Amino acid sequence: MSPFTHILILIDCSPSDGAIMDLVEKLLEGSTTKVTLSHVVHSHTLDQDRALKEQADACMESMLERFRALGAGPVNKLLLSGEPEEELEKAINQGDYDLVAMGTHGHTGFEDLLYGSVSRYLKHKITVPLLMVRNTETTAEKTH
């Protein structure tokens, strides 16, 4: 039984999503916890926005099927558009989530300053517990 009632999972439709999806599946075993899967489309033109939303929607649907198959609680998706940091902060602070979970790419040092902006931003801006899991496969690929 999960101690959580509503988990928000942040994804970017990349290989780094695998580790967090696997861990949340374990947390959900035998529970009725509600799950919301969220992705932010960050685009600059309307045509680009439409195409990226379609891709993100397809990605999210396949991930949602994993949770539906578990038979846990309600499973929803939240597709946002705009600046990821700001949109996610707003969604988290306005939602009823008691855990936010996200995968990270395993950047260190200077790379983290350039690419780890969403996780770094959120850990300073939200009051909900934030679970970050580094995808070891992504990290291992970078070292070889």
Residue 70 within a domain: yes
3-state secondary structure the chain: CCCCCEEEEECCCCCCHHHHHHHHHHHHCCCCCEEEEEEEECCCCHHHHHHHHHHHHHHHHHHHHHHHHHCCCCEEEEEEECCHHHHHHHHHHHCCCCEEEEEECCCCHHHHHHHCHHHHHHHHHCCCCEEEEECHHHHHHHHC
Model pLDDT, residue 73 = 86
pTM of this prediction?
A: 0.84
In a domain, 41, yes or no: yes
CATH classification at residue 16: 3.40.50.620
The total domain count for the chain is 1
Q: Which amino acid is at 2?
A: S
Mean pLDDT of the 109-133 span? 77
Does residue 136 form part of some domain?
A: yes
Domain limits for position 91: 6-143
Give per-residue pLDDT as tens, 32-83: 999 999 999 886 666 677 888 889 999 999 999 988 888 878 999 999 988 8
